[in-house]
Structure 1
């Protein structure tokens, strides 16, 4: 076959809709595809509200980006991270001013808190960089009340199941303007009903707020406190909770339901 004939056949193939090379513009567009965005799709449904206390729920696809180290572009949350980093407080194992116990009972309590932190950083948990899912929830509460100037704790229950062959998440999120949300806004009654309807209680997520080190902001400990442990154990027993996550906005500590048996309580 002559080169002229080959060229003619190629032109004819292209004219008839045969396979073609992508255009330079298409190649450039693919190379410049934007990175995945960290955002919880859609607005949450308000389950219950009283004053500044609110229980909300999202039901969203378990998109891969939710489990990647991608941060939301929330201005307040990014400012929080910048302030902590500028103070030198963005440590995987946070350091803060030592508590000043008033008596032996408080001294014992803080010893147990230290033991829980050691377990999380040891063989009863793991600490990793924050991922999109918990960062988006942290940012949602920070948008209501700054975690730098008015720190508050939230509690989120993350359920999952297959819907149409695809993983789906249901996220209950309770918070208020005070340090701890009222128990009526934890969402555990709703979780029990959903578990009875076939959802799996995958994770309970909780945040620990900023502390100080020499007058500068420092991260909270990403491990369950002595007060958290009995609450979470109850969820394991009542609703089949699988895992606990505790985040400080930079790092998240993970412990399984089995790990919880080793953590200390106040008693």
Structure 2
């Protein structure tokens, strides 16, 4: 089923990265993140963390090269040990909501393996709080500098299941846009919840997710929305946003739930 998807995802990623991957380059951030806000300890319930990486826009970040160590490697090892289902379409078919059905129809074009950048952030999240034992998610906004040489990667998480209001990363990202940065991607994670088919690694937006994507696009011109479960990622072009079922209560801009 994914014979065409790998080519489509590669083309979509290259449209963002504008360069091929270097297979001999390690998947890592070139510098440590800068912490913008931290409340509570990394393992405490309800703790919050907002940070950013400001790094060269290296092609390896857009490639399928996986991190060689750290939280992501531990995540994949534990995923294998637990024998968790990871087939993205099979997971979606367990819960055929309207939004899940949209992604199923477009799976060949939209779903592909997680890339280095997505795996790094997922690994960072799993290293902070084991996502199998204490499910939690991250949200990210990724921008490219006016000279197209650097990426700015905002990362925000709360130590509970779901993100809630996205203001902590939306506001600085919009300020960067005013300064000439291009808003490339709005990304967040949907982690595995074995035994809970409605939310088990689902690569499709919830109603609040879809609402956020549409509203944030109106503000920022973001090119894509992505959801990753650490193994696969759905990459939805902005042209698709209005087709998804949005939250019935009309959440304000800055809201998202996993």
- The TM-score normalised by the length of structure 1 is 0.74
- Asked whether the 8 Å contact 1:158–1:201 carries over to 2, the reply is yes
Residue of structure 2 in register with 1:85 after alignment: 80
Cα distance in 2 between the residues matched to 1:182 and 1:88: 27
Cα distance in 1 between the residues matched to 2:188 and 2:196: 26
Cα distance in 1 between the residues matched to 2:219 and 2:190: 24
- Greater Cα shift, 184-193 or 169-178: 184-193
Cα distance in 1 between the residues matched to 2:219 and 2:33: 26
Aligned residues: 218
Does the alignment pair 1:196 with 2:149?
no
- Classify 1:254/1:97 alpha carbon distance in 2 versus 1 (closer, same or farther; 3 Å): closer
Residue of structure 2 in register with 1:36 after alignment: 25
- CA RMSD for the aligned pairs? 2.6
Other structure's SS at 1:41 match: coil
1:136-175 maps to which residues of 2 (within 5 A)?
136-163=120-147, 166-175=148-157
- Classify 1:151/1:66 alpha carbon distance in 2 versus 1 (closer, same or farther; 3 Å): same
Residue of structure 1 in register with 2:91 after alignment: 95
Residue of structure 1 in register with 2:19 after alignment: none
Measured after TM superposition, the shift of residue 203 of structure 1 is: 0.2
Q: Deviations over 1:45-82 (max 9, x none)?
A: 11122222111011111111111111112343223223
Does the alignment pair 1:49 with 2:44?
no
Measured after TM superposition, the shift of residue 223 of structure 1 is: 1.5
Q: Deviations over 1:88-147 (max 9, x none)?
A: 51213243896xxxxxxxxxxx76xx2212212323861000110000011111110011
Match among 70, 73, 84 for residue 68 of structure 2: 73
Cα distance in 1 between the residues matched to 2:224 and 2:166: 22
- Classify 1:199/1:154 alpha carbon distance in 2 versus 1 (closer, same or farther; 3 Å): same
Q: Deviations over 1:3-44 (max 9, x none)?
A: xxxxxxxxxxxxxxxxxxxxxxxxxxxxxxx93211111111
Unpaired runs of 5+ in structure 2? 1-22, 41-46, 249-258
Cα distance in 2 between the residues matched to 1:154 and 1:65: 22
Residue of structure 2 in register with 1:229 after alignment: 210
Does the alignment pair 1:241 with 2:222?
yes
Q: Deviations over 1:217-264 (max 9, x none)?
A: x95111211120111111101111111010001000011111011011
Measured after TM superposition, the shift of residue 156 of structure 1 is: 0.2
- The TM-score normalised by the length of structure 2 is 0.76
- Asked whether the 8 Å contact 2:184–2:223 carries over to 1, the reply is yes
Cα distance in 2 between the residues matched to 1:123 and 1:182: 27
